[in-house]
Structure 1
Amino acid sequence: MFGWLASFGVHSRARSTTTVRWLAITPRTLLEGLGQLGGVLYLAPSFAASCQADLPSSPGCLVESADLAPLLSTRYVGVTCAVTCEGPREWIDCIGADGETLARIYLLPDTDYLAWDGLFVDALPIDGPPCRLPDRDGLRGCRARVLSFSRRRLGGFDMLSATDVCISVLGRGVARDIAVSESIAIGG
């Protein structure tokens, strides 16, 4: 949450105020961290698009719904902090082994900021993913959901599920602004 403060004022207005920290992770690390965040804005391919891809396999990890399946293929994350005209924004780009953008998760005012800051404490910093960088094209055809992840053990597996969550008026406004800037509709 406070990553954007570190870059605020350091750059002149002519320079970018966006910073990205790249990390190599395992799906298990991602699933463990997401279950602690509370309300977030989750952008992922629609059900039809995610069914067209090969089903990911991550030993010991399962997801409860198809729209969470891209998280099982995540091998890298780009933790981005930006200062926009709407205010500070932080998000995580979930990147696959081939460098494709699989999903994006935005911090909202209702997110547990301490869990967000500690999300990837043990992840391995890298210079960047091996192939292409995340771009808006990777998120075409996505849908956005305000949700809360939860993780539980089920027969020796880590199971990630998500439920739509009610958030504050401020949080709904921020989620709406993000969806508009991404040209994506928020749906259930």
Structure 2
Amino acid sequence: MENQKIEEFFYRNNEQVNNPIIKSFLSDFNNLYLVQKAILYPTERNKKLVDESFQSHYINVRKIKYVSNLIYFFSLDFDKKRRRLQDRTLLILDKGLSEEGSTTAKELIEDASIGKELDHLVGEGLLDNIEDEQLLKSLRKLTVKQLQILEMIYVKELSIKEIAQTLQTTPQNISNLHRKALNKLKHTLSKKEE
């Protein structure tokens, strides 16, 4: 008799019972027990217990939904900001790596195609001709490209234009690298004198 009364109640209120919030409420055994008790013994106290339990459940569902939406929209915003920042941030190879700005990232990148062409032009000639220990240590702190340019200018006696053609770059770039190499040498030598 009791089961029939409960089944009739759920049958009459089938549309409300199929509501996702009510379904999740009734999926908890304690809540289902309270509802069945209120159906069988419809006192004010039993109805109030179901009502309080449902309000608590509904508040929790709303909180979970709110936090879920926050996470979703914040993740979308985060992705948009990250992509926007990634599109704005460009790799700048001409900027100095240190505060002095003497060596750039572009100078540290080796060009594999140049290596074999330069073997006959650049050897240990420049470093072999240096007797001053401080100057030798300072020269070893230069990049390979800076050393190559200094050797081509001072040992091989090539012009800036000839070096630019050999290294497949512009004469301005060779002049800049030459000037930076000399400035770096001057800076490291002046530090050692102090």
Task: Specify the TM-score bucket, using the shorter chain as the normaliser.
Answer: under 0.3
Asked which structure has the greater RCO (Cα within 8 Å, sep 6+), the reply is 1
Q: Which of structures 1 and 2 has the bigger CA Rg?
A: 2
Larger relative strand fraction: 1
Larger relative helix fraction: 2
TM-score normalized with structure 1 length: 0.21
